[in-house]
Amino acid sequence: MSTPEGKATAPKTAHPHAVSILSRKPLTTARAAWIISCVTVLMTIISGVLIHLTDKQNYPELGDGLWWAIQTVTTVGYGDLVPTSTTGRFIAALVMVVGIGFLTVITAAITSTFIESARRRLLATRTDTVSARLDQIGTRLDAIEATLKKFSGHLDDAPR
């Protein structure tokens, strides 16, 4: 978007409050995992309540709805409680997608942590090796310079 003066402006977002909350700090793998975890817990609770309210025949107690939501979001799915209504199946589909996303992000966060740790160790080893090699080169250069000074002193004393 641009103004009449031709200056570019940022597009307006549908949810400026959510954007401001998410952009306060840089998005790291750990922060993304925390956000996905919170969304997953909220989704599990809300879907457990919703399935109880929309399908009272299969989920007569709130505990049944929460139990179903937990087993669905964790992809366990014992099959002891299964939604039969269209609304219940729609809720189930959402819970399954969130559960798969949760497992994916947590797995990625753990993997990223391991890779970053290994990268730091490798970089530290390389830095130590390079530093040691530079120290050796410095020592050799000092010896060469000392030898050159000794020879140049002899050359200055020689008759011409």
Residue 135 lies in a domain: yes
Contacts of 142 (CB under 8 A, 6+ apart): none
For residues 64 and 119, give the distance between their C-alpha atoms in angstroms, rounded to a whole number.
46
Q: Domain of 116? A: 26-157
Residue 17 lies in a domain: no
Q: Structural domain tally of the chain?
A: 1
Residue 115 lies in a domain: yes
68's enclosing H/E stretch is helix 62-73
Query: Could you give the count of Cα atoms lying within 13 Å of 30 in the half-sphere of its Cβ?
Result: 4
Asked whether 32 and 109 are in contact (CB, 8 A), the reply is yes
Give the pLDDT confidence score for residue 67 in this predicted structure: 92
* Residues facing 2 on adjacent strands: 8
Q: What is the pLDDT along the chain (160 residues), one digit of tens a residue?
A: 455 555 555 556 666 776 666 667 776 777 777 888 888 899 899 999 999 999 888 899 999 999 999 988 887 877 788 888 888 889 888 888 888 888 888 888 888 888 888 888 888 777 777 778 888 888 988 888 888 888 777 655 555 5
Total count of residues recorded for the chain: 160
Return the CATH number at 122.
1.10.287.70
Residue 10 lies in a domain: no
For residues 158 and 151, give the distance between their C-alpha atoms in angstroms, rounded to a whole number.
11
Residue 6 lies in a domain: no
